[in-house]
Structure 1
Amino acid sequence: MTVAPLAVLFDRDGTLIIDVPYCADPRRVCPMPAAVPALRMLRAAGVRIGVVTNQSGIGRGLITAEQAAAVNAEVVRLLGPFDTFRVCPHAPDEGCACRKPRPGMVLDAAAELGVPPARTAVIGDIGADVEAAAAAGAAAVMVPTAVTRPEEIRRAPVVRRTLVEAVEHLLGPR
């Protein structure tokens, strides 16, 4: 991205918060170490921020929509408000348009924010996040974790070690 994005969308699990598979308990929500300062930087720069998260546990019957909403509310409580919060509740085999790596949530979030996808960036920890961004015409930055596969890292257009480094990359020189 040659110009700073007008909106940055974050994956939730493994990106903004420590990944607890199929988390149904808000008490288990723990922000990633650089989440607070990264979000603070974007807010200070006037960049709109949002979350785009696959929550297949709902579609698989492992957690309820209410439990997922309670976890999301805790994310907001700990990390501050987001301009949009998109959730795909579908199981992988449902063929929905919103589940990453499909672009549905990215496109919907950008439209809600009134920002063209080309001026939107997605930050995530796995290939599906990067692929959803590319499919939507948005920029992508991968911040790998221990579960990110090496081939996903190799395919990512931009890789940074922390959320702060990812945001610094997107905002460019100040």
Structure 2
Amino acid sequence: MPTSSAPQAVLFDRDSTLVVDVPYNGDPDLVRPMPGAVEAVAAVRAAGVPTGVVSNQSGIARGLITREQVDAVNARVDEVFGAFDTWQVCPHGPEDGCACRKPAPGMVLQAAAALGVDPARVVVIGDIGADVGAAHAAGAAAVLVPTPITRAEEVAAASVVAPDLATAVRIALAGGAG
């Protein structure tokens, strides 16, 4: 749903949106920001808009990483970017049927509640269809920033697509996300 004005919050996917994806990363030393990501997050903060992260971390359910390792990686992300106002992490696997794993709306709704904002005034920025799906399921807006792993049908289905994170943030802050 399109926003009619600046958002009350911007939520980011973590892997391939904020940081270079290292599958099932449990090592904070491997955290590397995506090109332009630090500046894009800073632009949201400079506009006075709260920020958060919503991240599927199925490696926990799969026994490949621990929650403590994920928390350590997320703490490193906070060191690189500055602290996010809320972190929402889904530790479940795709078969678990939880309400939080994107494209389900749980993490977006939890982030909005944690920030005290209306989900309809939230923009989610991510790199795959599950990010867009979670936003829309929660009644939030979304901007897709495709990467080489983004499927063509996900790009075609997204109502708002940006070539990079800086453009996605400009669209979000201008109230143009869909």
TM bucket, shorter chain? over 0.9
Alpha-carbon separation, structure 2, partners of 1:121 and 1:15: 14
CA-CA distance at 1:51 after TM superposition: 0.2
Q: What root-mean-square deviation, in Å, do the aligned CA atoms of Structure 1 and Structure 2 show?
A: 0.9
CA-CA distance at 1:157 after TM superposition: 1.0
Partner of 1:38, secondary structure, is helix
Percent of aligned pairs with the same amino acid: 64
Correspondence for 1:105? 107
Correspondence for 2:170? 168
Alpha-carbon separation, structure 1, partners of 2:80 and 2:37: 10
Alpha-carbon separation, structure 2, partners of 1:56 and 1:167: 27
Match of 1:121 among 116, 120, 123: 123
Match of 1:150 among 128, 132, 152: 152
The residue identity in structure 1 corresponding to 2:35 is: P
| Corresponding residue pairs, total | 173
Correspondence for 2:67? 65
Alpha-carbon separation, structure 2, partners of 1:111 and 1:147: 31
In structure 2, the gaps of 5 or more residues are none
CA-CA distance at 1:78 after TM superposition: 0.5
- RCO higher in structure (CA 8 A, sep ≥6): 2
- 1:122-151 deviations in whole A, cap 9, x for unaligned? 000000000000000000000010000000
CA-CA distance at 1:6 after TM superposition: 0.8
For normalisation by structure 1, the TM-score amounts to: 0.97
Match of 2:48 among 22, 40, 46: 46
Correspondence for 1:37? 39
For normalisation by structure 2, the TM-score amounts to: 0.95
CA-CA distance at 1:2 after TM superposition: 2.3
The residue identity in structure 1 corresponding to 2:50 is: R
Correspondence for 2:16? 14
> Where do 4+ consecutive residues of structure 1 move more than 4 Å?
none
Match of 1:74 among 73, 76, 100: 76
CA-CA distance at 1:92 after TM superposition: 1.0
CA-CA distance at 1:56 after TM superposition: 0.2
In structure 1, the gaps of 5 or more residues are none
